[in-house]
Amino acid sequence: MKWQKTLLSMIQTRKDKKIALAVDTSTNEVQTLLINNIVKLFETLKPDTLLVQADYKIRSIAPVKADTIKYQTHGKASYTLVLEWAEKENIDTLFYITDVTGYIYEDMDNVDFEMFWLVPDEFLPKVPFGRAIKVA
């Protein structure tokens, strides 16, 4: 229950910030109920959050809505395009729901915004930058 309180607090303290929530849709072998509940939390607390669905490319960018996520089956993910998009759009905070097994450009070792990796897995891998939060 600890991560739920942490995430709730993080969203609430960023009410006046430009926030995006990215979801790694590269596989359908994920905890979809958990992910939908996280998306629903953003939808309820900060409805102007942008929801980015991406795998090896950005599939959609729209206002946050829990029942709109479409998962792929190929298992390939790249974070670079979403990170570049967030920088271009002057996002203050990016939350990324992923297992952190995707690709990122080697020369991208930091970003100019606050970054949180929401990992829906028991294993919490090392992240290239930002902060990882286990949400499983």
Rounded to whole angstroms, the Cα distance separating 49 from 18 reads: 7
Within 1-136, residue ranges assigned H as helices are: 2-12, 32-45, 80-88
For 8, other C-beta atoms within 10 Å of its C-beta total: 12
Q: Is the pLDDT of residue 36 over 70?
A: yes
Rounded to whole angstroms, the Cα distance separating 67 from 13 reads: 25
Mean per-residue pLDDT, 7-21: 96
- Per-residue model confidence (pLDDT) at position 1: 59
Mean per-residue pLDDT, 47-76: 91
Write the pLDDT tens digit of every residue in 91-115: 999 999 999 988 888 788 889 999 9
Mean per-residue pLDDT, 27-38: 87
Q: Is the pLDDT of residue 52 over 80?
A: yes
